[in-house]
Amino acid sequence: MHFDIFTLFPEMFQGVFECSIIQRARQAGLVSIALHNIRDYAPGKHRVTDDVPYGGGGGMVMKPEPIWNAVEAVLGYDPTGRKDVPIILLSPQGRLFTHAVARELAQQPRLLLICGRYEGVDERVRRYLATDEISIGDYVLSGGEIPAMVLVDAIVRWAPGVLGDPDAPLDDSHASGLLEYPHYTRPAIYRGFEVPAVLRSGHHAEIARWRRQEALRRTHERRPDLLAHAPLTQADREFLAQLEREAAESAQTEL
Ligand code: SAM
């Protein structure tokens, strides 16, 4: 899959895209990423990319021409109003980026990501050029570069062949609708803190049961909202009911 990223600060991406999983995926030819400096597409000697807002007020707004020119040059056609390829504007006003959205976008062979700066981009970019708007959370960052990195990292994990063990992400938090169970590694005892005996028992069915119950326990404790949509078995429901009873009992004891 291929990403085209439009930014005023391409140098910000170097460290993130040049190590670990993303770098290996690029070297293996599974993923390619092209960084496009919006300033290179700004008309005029001074290559101005922002201007004061109409109507007054503080801050600067990113001009539409450099962004539009850049997207048009990279795609090779006028993208206005077309939906041939997803053109994603990173914005705190967009739909929230979740596990499900990452998987949805991972189906695309090509994605264009536009990183805003300052007060944001001219509204016409959002309305007539972008085909989608994505937010990485309910807070405001200084620019769309970090959100673009977040999208690329989360999406690349789902590209075929990128992770050594293709089943690994299936157990990850949110993939199955639950938070993942806790992990331990050697040593078995560290500073007196012991790894649960079941994980050292070699009993695969017991380990699987323990992991499922710990995933349910964590989700129940930390993100009970997820349980409403998680696919649950009868045994899961019984375990959750038991957790509810335990919680009610301990609340009674505290009174
Ligand atoms: N004035 C804008 C508003 O209130 O909606 C915020 C502009 S923000 C300072 C500058 C740029 O950072 C945005 O255009 C967007 O590209 C990016 N950005 C900031 N927060 C973001 C978030 N939570 N998710 C995605 N992009 C974000």
Task: Specify the pLDDT at position 86.
Answer: 98
Q: Give the integer Cα–Cα distance in Å for 188 and 174.
A: 28
Is there a contact between 169 and 157 (Cβ–Cβ < 8 Å)? yes
At 170 the pLDDT is 85
Q: Is the CB of 182 under 6 A from ligand 1?
A: no
Say if ligand 1 is within 6 A of residue 14 CB: no
Vertex 142: Cα angle to 136 and 148 (nearest 5): 40
Asked about 169 being catalytic, the answer comes back as: no
| Nearest of 211, 189, 4, 14 to residue 87 by alpha carbon | 4
Q: Which residues in the chain show pLDDT less than 70? A: none
Rounded to whole angstroms, the Cα distance separating 188 from 167 reads 26
What are 75-118's pLDDT values in tens digits? Answer: 999 999 999 999 999 999 999 999 999 999 999 999 999 999 99
pLDDT of 156 reads 96
pLDDT at residue 254, rounded to an integer: 82
Q: How far is Cα 211 from Cα 193, in angstroms, rounded to an integer?
A: 19
pLDDT at 166: 77
* Active-site entry in 92, 214, 223, 236: 92
Q: Which H or E run includes 121?
A: none
Distance CA 160, CA 172 (A): 16
User: pLDDT at position 196, please?
Assistant: 98
Q: Catalytic: 172?
A: yes
Give me the catalytic one of 18, 78, 84, 172: 172
The residue from 72, 119, 180, 236 that is catalytic is 119
| Cis bond before residue 187 (omega within 30° of 0) | yes
Regarding the beta carbon of 140 and ligand 1, being less than 6 Å apart is answered yes
Q: How big is the chain, counted in residues?
A: 255
Residues 241 and 234: their CA atoms lie apart, in Å, by 11
Residue 130 pLDDT: 98
| Residues 29 and 162 sit within 8 Å (Cβ to Cβ) | no
Burial class from Cβ neighbours inside 10 Å (0-12, 13-18, 19+) for residue 245 reads exposed
Mutate to test the pocket of ligand 1, among 87, 88, 90 (most ligand atoms within 8 A of CB): 90
Name the DSSP letter for residue 12. Answer: G
pLDDT at 46: 96
- 92 assigned to active site: yes
72 part of the active site: no
Evaluate: CB of 188 within 6 angstroms of ligand 1.
no
- Cβ(115) to ligand 1 under 6 A? yes
| Alpha carbons 4 and 42: distance in angstroms, whole number | 18
What three-state secondary structure class fits 50?
Answer: strand
Amino acid at 160: P
**Predicted TM-score (pTM) above 0.75:** yes
Of 86, 178, 94, 88, the C-alpha closest to 136 is 94
CB of residue 119 inside a 6 A radius of ligand 1: yes
All structural domains of the chain: 2-156 (3.40.1280.10), 189-254 (1.10.1270.20)
CA of 196 to the centre of ligand 1 (A): 44
